[in-house]
Amino acid sequence: MANVGFVGLGVMGSRMVKRLLEAGHAVTGYNRTKSKAQWLVDAGMKWADTPRAAAQAGEFVFSMVTNTEALQAVTTGADGILAGLSANKIYIDMSTVSPSTSRELAKQVESKGTQMLDAPVSGSVITLEEGKLSIMVGGNRSALERARPILEGIGPKVTHVGGNGLAVSMKIATNLSLAVQMLAFSEGVLLAEESGIPRETAVEVLLNSVIASPMVKYRGPFVLKMPDEAWFDVNMMQKDMLLALEMGRQLEVPLPTTAITNQMLTAARGMGLAEKDFAILFEALARMAGNK
């Protein structure tokens, strides 16, 4: 069992810590809002007052934050993760951020005498809770092998994709398809409904058809009833779509469906739906069709 430091205890990060605690690891965690992590403290997690303190406490140090700016906030400065790292620790960032920022951070970590892995995940709250999460990893392979038992405590499928920054690139390439699929699914449901087929029937048919990817199976039912807590809200999804579009420009790769879906996310935000799960794309589309 290992000593683990964990920074960022949001929807996904908190559940990752829960799995690590259940596996027997000693976890010291930090979150910007302590009250949101109280249930983890009650479950045995030690509290750290700063990201630096969490990093000092762990042989393996994790971060899972919302975006590039948040990652810079928790890693830099006197109280940041970098200040708490020392030789032979392994720092693992699971956030979805700019690949160039991730690579630059890896260089700063290396200057501390240790190594960084970027290790974003593919899956959602339900796949994490069911122990089915997939983790893609960028960075030194020997560092990954040291960290593998810890990572497999979070998700059973751990795949090395290359050097630092490449796992984040792979995650962005994966995530753009989530929103694109959700929009296409929503179009199909709405078209069926407007033709006279009950929405429930349309959803049932599509979820048992050839278009029913794992993502569609998890989120398709949300067009009937949205979850009380967003698994991945509109703002977070649009952040990933913008990262994809930025990569597309840099690499000269056309991303037409990503661009269109990004505009629909902007429309959803304009309708006041930014904090809803991105499956709210269906409602945005329905409103545009005059279906209130």
Percent of the chain with pLDDT over 90: 87
pLDDT tens, position by position, 103-149: 999 999 999 999 999 999 987 777 788 878 899 999 999 999 999 99
Q: What is the CATH number of domain 169-288?
A: 1.10.1040.10
pLDDT tens, position by position, 85-111: 999 999 999 999 999 999 999 999 999
Least Cα distance to 243 among 183, 184, 179, 185 occurs for: 179
What's the rounded Cα separation, in Å, for the pair 283 and 182? 12
Domain 3-163 classification at class level: alpha beta
Model pTM above 0.85:
yes
For the chain, give every domain's residue range. 3-163, 169-288
What's the rounded Cα separation, in Å, for the pair 21 and 176? 32
- CA distances to 7, 227, 230, 285, 288 from 200, in Å: 41, 16, 21, 17, 20
